[in-house]
Amino acid sequence: MEKVLDYLKQNQQRFLAEFCDYLRFASVSAQPAHKNDLHACAAWLVAHCQAIGLEAKLCATAGHPIVIAKTPRAKNSQQPHYMVYGHYDVQPPEPLELWKSPPFEPRIVGNTIYARGSMDNKGQHLAHLKAVEAYLKTGTALPCDLTFVIEGEEEIGSESLSGFLKKNRRELNCQAVVISDTGMPSPKHPALGYSLRGIMALEITLHGPARDLHSGGFGGAVDNPAMAMSQLLAQLRDQHGRITIPGFYDGVAPLTAYERKEYARLPGTDAGLKKMIGVKNLFGERGFSSSEQRSARPTFEINGLTSGYQGEGSKTIIPSWARAKITCRLVPNQKPEAVRKAVVAHLKRICPPTMRLEIAAGHGAEAYFVPPTGPQAQAALRALEKAFGRKPILMREGGSIPIVNQFKKILGADSLLLGLGLPDDNAHSPNEKFSLECFEKGQRMAAFLWQELSR
């Protein structure tokens, strides 16, 4: 292991240059204009995997390609086999004007790198690749076989990956999936995640008049879609932060006393959270701490709202339509399709007679939950402690990695969530960043992990 750790230490400068190359691809999966950028990014990744000694290939899908990279293995290898999952696609960078430097031109300030995709997720799986590179380049035997599966559709629902897993079930059969795509409370608090929230997306459009109308000529006799949308959405959450859609909370299991105790051990205060995100006051469902609200409770979130005139100055119209982009975060035991059905039925029930309601279904995924007491989780905790020099904590994650459910269903494998992001890394926001300390310690954690898992 000394050789491996030395190799990592001596090559950080080069790793960083390669990281920057990787970040320069505008691999925005949600925007069709970036299709070629995604392809170019995937091709770069294949070449990089090959250069470090992996057997890598690009696998075409109906959407963006999947990159597969394997460690060289003995014929009929009896070693355990683990998968490392990541994604090379990134969130849209908008609003661009809020970035302090262009999102696809990486900028290093002190021990931090700024770029879209730096934390979510390029930097995190690159740390795993670098750990394997250290094994391969120093001739150190890996105690297990590894397959990297790095997809290009995570931010839009991983639609192609399920089919790919099914088709390659035998080849991808593994003991566990390792995923670094979440976070830890601070570099002093390395963490193992044991739960993820699910998601259910939809887009609501209210259609009023056939075209924008002059608000002088018609205003007063015609309902305004922006007002109708406001009144529709306003009814969906009460003053105590509870979603009022009948059936929305169906199946939600209460937090156990053990979990609430673990939550109470998390570092950080509400005052610190308030300051970090810059809000006047926090707001959430009554009866839960902010940490619990952020990861153990379902949400109904408006991600975007559009109606009428968006430009400078004023335009005296009654808009023809109003649209809301919605995602709900789900918790264990909620079914995305059941929640969608409850939301749609309620919207239909309360839609005013002046509006035509159009609902477009988006992606959906169940929440994930695995008790953190098994031997793999214990091995992961040891690797974290060795790399970070601190006792790791157990935590639920508020985000969603929908594909985790498919790993379980299709491959029968649990996932180990070894997140390297920090809470203020601005994932999905302008000025996304990644700590270079987390990048380096993440490489060490990944190097220890294969030893611990194979013990």
Residues numbered 263-302 forming contacts with its own copies, rule: CB under 8 A: 273, 277-285, 288, 290-291, 293-295, 297-299, 301-302
| Residue from the set 79, 80, 140, 212 that interacts with its own copies by CB under 8 A | 212
317 binds its own copies per the rule CB under 8 A: yes
Helix residue ranges, H only, 212-268: 225-234, 257-264
Geometric angle at alpha carbon 145, from 140 and 147, rounded to 5°: 115
Which residues, at least 6 apart from 162, have a Cβ–Cβ distance to it below 8 Å? Answer: 403, 406, 410
48 binds its own copies per the rule CB under 8 A: no
**How big is the site for its own copies, counted in residues (CB under 8 A)?**
103
192 binds its own copies per the rule CB under 8 A: no
CB of 291 to its own copies, least distance (A): 8
CB of 194 to its own copies, least distance (A): 16
For residue 243, the 8-state DSSP code is B
26 binds its own copies per the rule CB under 8 A: no
12 binds its own copies per the rule CB under 8 A: no
Tokens of 349: 């029930």
| Residue from the set 132, 199, 383, 410 that interacts with its own copies by CB under 8 A | 199
Sign of CA dihedral 60, 62, 64, 67: negative
226/403 with CB nearer its own copies: 226
HSE of 316, CA atoms in CB hemisphere, 13 A: 6
CB of 138 to its own copies, least distance (A): 36
CB 425 within 8 A of CB 116: no
| Residue from the set 13, 78, 314, 373 that interacts with its own copies by CB under 8 A | 314
Q: For strand 321-330 and strand 198-207, is the pairing parallel, antiparallel, or unpaired?
A: antiparallel
224 binds its own copies per the rule CB under 8 A: yes
Taking CB under 8 A as the binding criterion, the range among 51-59, 250-258, 348-356, 447-455 that sits at the site for its own copies is 348-356
353 binds its own copies per the rule CB under 8 A: yes
Phi, psi of 254 (to 5 degrees): -65, 150
CA distance 380 to 417: 9
Beta-carbon neighbour count of residue 351 at 10 Å? 16
Site string for its own copies, 122-161 (x = CB under 8 A): ----------------------------------x-----
118 binds its own copies per the rule CB under 8 A: no
304 binds its own copies per the rule CB under 8 A: yes
Mapped to the 3 state alphabet, what secondary structure does 9-21 carry?
Answer: HHCHHHHHHHHHH
337 binds its own copies per the rule CB under 8 A: no
169/356 with CB nearer its own copies: 356
CB of 430 to its own copies, least distance (A): 6
329 binds its own copies per the rule CB under 8 A: yes
188 binds its own copies per the rule CB under 8 A: no
36/303 with CB nearer its own copies: 303
Phi, psi of 131 (to 5 degrees): -65, -40
Task: For the chain, state the CA radius of gyration.
Answer: 23
Binding to its own copies (CB under 8 A): which residues in 237-266? 237
- Written as one string, the DSSP assignment of 266-293 is S---HHHHHHHHT-SS----TTS-HHHH
| Residue from the set 160, 406, 426, 443 that interacts with its own copies by CB under 8 A | 426
Binding to its own copies (CB under 8 A): which residues in 390-419? 397-400
Binding to its own copies (CB under 8 A): which residues in 86-105? 91-92, 94-95, 98
2 binds its own copies per the rule CB under 8 A: no
The answer, yes or no, to whether the previous bond of 319 is cis (omega within 30 of 0) is no
Binding to its own copies (CB under 8 A): which residues in 430-449? 430-431
Measured distance between the N- and C-terminal CA atoms of the chain, rounded to whole angstroms: 14
Side chain identity, residue 138 = T
| Residue from the set 227, 338, 344, 359 that interacts with its own copies by CB under 8 A | 227
CA distance 202 to 179: 27
376 binds its own copies per the rule CB under 8 A: no
Side chain identity, residue 449 = L
| Residue from the set 318, 379, 384, 394 that interacts with its own copies by CB under 8 A | 318
CA distances from 441 to 123, 167, 182, 190, 377 (A): 12, 35, 15, 10, 19
